[in-house]
Amino acid sequence: MRKLIFLITGFFFVGCLSSKPKGAFNALSVPQAPDYSLSANWAAAGFKEDPADRTPREDYISIKGESEIDVFFLHPTTYTGSKGETEWNGSIDNMELNTKTDEGAILYQASIFNGAGKVFAPRYRQAHYHSYFSKDTASAKKAFNLAYQDVASAFEYYLTNYNRGRPIILASHSQGTNHTIRLIKEYFDTKPLQEKLVAAYIVGMPVNKDTFQSIKPCQEEFDTGCFCSWRTFKARHKPKKHPQGNHIAVINPLSWESNGKLAPKELNIGGMAWKFDDGIIPEINNAKVENGILWASKPKFPGSIFLFRKNYHIADFNLFYTNIRNNAKERAAAYLLNQKTSEK
């Protein structure tokens, strides 16, 4: 029972970790920049076996070897303040940190998309979790800029060496979403590459409806060339420290609609709590769009009696694992069909 409580707490809560960056950001002491020609600097990639290839059930098939679509995934913050994590940016040579990333976000989030395409997920010198709350905003900004520098470098290397003209799904969570927003603005929005965008799942951060000039929020489940976004809280909870309002783009990952209609738990084909292998739980919770956030009922899974938090941020993807997985496959198929139709 003690182990179960630990796993539940660990999955739904990034704890009050004590290690914070020491001093101001110093460009001379940042970790070495990654070389993306090295396989080790990709947490997931179409050319190697990795946790993003795994599936929680045998009937969930990874199409990595035969996909016409690529998925570029940016993981959330895993440099969260464990002992010794005192730099503004995490090193990609930190094996303990890499394992945390691989066994967490890559396995539980990036794997969602292996039924739609080949998943590419770069390691990057991510900004410390404390950067979101630090009073040293100048240093925090520099830390995020350094992280994005890696993201842009990885994406350019991916385009040049691995993409080969294939359409792209963008997917991200939390800090990864902050960087993906910048990536979309720089490489997709009003740019030729926009034609290759299947859809973007930019989750876990507030994204205004008018964030991009020509890429709009998805409105229906088969829309392409658009973006999906949501942040999950317990139903009826009104978070005081999180932006809210109808100007924020939110789509319900159970119904793929943006209205305020409740999507009952019966629409949840299968979410995931703390267990990956055969850990899919149908009807784990319901969902409803409410004032710029996503409300979800308390998830029901073995041990959920110990879940007291009202912020379900860390489970933004996992509570809707199968619905997102199927939707990514459907949008990919819709994109390919539209592409073939337009070529006739």
Instruction: Identify the bridge partners of residue 246 per DSSP, sorted by sequence position.
Output: none
Listed in sequence order, the residues at least 6 apart from 123 whose beta carbon sits closer than 8 Å to its beta carbon are 34, 41, 42, 43, 92, 98, 101
Residue 3: pLDDT over 80 = no
Separation between Cα atoms, residue 239 and residue 54, nearest integer Å: 35
Per residue in 86-126, pLDDT tens? 999 999 999 999 999 999 999 999 999 999 999 999 999 99
pLDDT at position 307 is 87
Q: Sign of dihedral through CA atoms 220, 226, 232, 238?
A: negative
Q: Of 111, 27, 108, give the one whose Cα is nearest residue 64.
A: 111
pLDDT at position 303 is 85
Separation between Cα atoms, residue 114 and residue 79, nearest integer Å: 25
CB atoms within 10 A of CB 22: 9
Per residue in 194-249, pLDDT tens? 999 999 999 999 999 999 999 999 999 999 999 999 999 999 999 999 999 999 99
Task: Determine if the pTM surpasses 0.85.
Answer: yes
Residue 137: pLDDT over 50 = yes
Q: Using an 8 Å Cβ cutoff, are 164 and 333 in contact?
A: no
Q: Using an 8 Å Cβ cutoff, are 207 and 179 in contact?
A: no
Q: Could you give the count of Cα atoms lying within 13 Å of 254 in the half-sphere of its Cβ?
A: 28
